[in-house]
A and B are shown apart, each in its own frame.
Chain A
Amino acid sequence: DAGVTQSPTHLIKTRGQQVTLRCSPKSGHDTVSWYQQALGQGPQFIFQYYEEEERQRGNFPDRFSGHQFPNYSSELNVNALLLGDSALYLCASSSRGDQPQHFGDGTRLSIL
């Protein structure tokens, strides 16, 4: 039973570029949430997708957008990258919004 998988594992971009991160949820899960974890901090909620719709959004600018596909996988897109976007981006899935969220190993994004 595969857990939450994320790709790529590492990514290096320069300021102003755009990036797409991908997530496949754990089997049987239909809800995907994205979190940003800066170095030395706890994860911060970006947004949550359910039934291909953005259900909730945290305090992140519109440069951060996402998508959920019919197979429940999800993408996180970040436009006009800033140095401050350097972080570990974590995807979590659950079978319903209120059930325990299981995390992938994350994508480490470095902005030069």
Chain B
Amino acid sequence: GEDVEQSLFLSVREGDSSVINCTYTDSSSTYLYWYKQEPGAGLQLLTYIFSNMDMKQDQRLTVLLNKKDKHLSLRIADTQTGDSAIYFCAEVDSSYKLIFGSGTRLLVRP
């Protein structure tokens, strides 16, 4: 069945790079997404990658996609304390519903 998996927790020092990993199962997904959720808030669309791309860069964010291994990663360069949040990876299935992982909690230490 469809499943998206992420590691639960990542702690980095301010100014370092963060890498959040995700694996998914639906090879027919047309897009893969990264959302950010801050405490008490909804989900903010950070970036997304089309399935025929290997990499997408958007300012401090770099998304890498390995379709063969069904592996997606999000790299945040120069991580700041404001980046502390929960990050969700999501795939979209053939019926256009988003399937989310359980989220990775990123803690940025000063």
Contact = CB atoms under 8 A, between A and B. Distances in A.
A101 to B, nearest CB: 6
A103 B44 contact: yes
Interface of A: 4, 6, 31, 33, 35, 40-45, 48, 55-56, 58, 88, 90, 92, 97-98, 100-106
B103 A103 contact: no
Interface of B: 4, 30-31, 33, 35, 41-45, 48, 88, 90, 92, 95-103
B42 A90 contact: yes
Contacts of A45: 97-99
A77 B103 CA distance: 27
Chain B contact residues, majority secondary structure: strand
A48 B41 CA distance: 21
Given A41-B102, A42-B103, A103 B97 contact: no
A42 B31 contact: no
B41 A101 contact: no
B97 A100 contact: no
B106 to A, nearest CB: 15
A61 B100 CA distance: 20
**A-B pairs with lowest CB-CB distance, top 5:** A42-B100, A97-B96, A105-B42, A103-B43, A45-B97
A98 B42 contact: no
Given A100-B31, A101-B45, A103-B45, 18 more contacts: A6-B42, A33-B97, A41-B102, A42-B88, A42-B103, A43-B88, A43-B98, A44-B100, A48-B97, A55-B96, A56-B96, A56-B97, A90-B42, A92-B98, A98-B92, A100-B45, A103-B42, A104-B42
10 contacts: A40-B102, A41-B102, A41-B103, A42-B103, A43-B88, A44-B100, A48-B95, A92-B98, A98-B96, A101-B45
Contact of B30 (A48, A58, A92, A98): A98
Given A48-B97, A56-B97, A102 B45 contact: yes
Contact of B43 (A55, A90, A98): A90
A106 B4 CA distance: 22
Contacts of A42: 4, 88, 90, 100-103
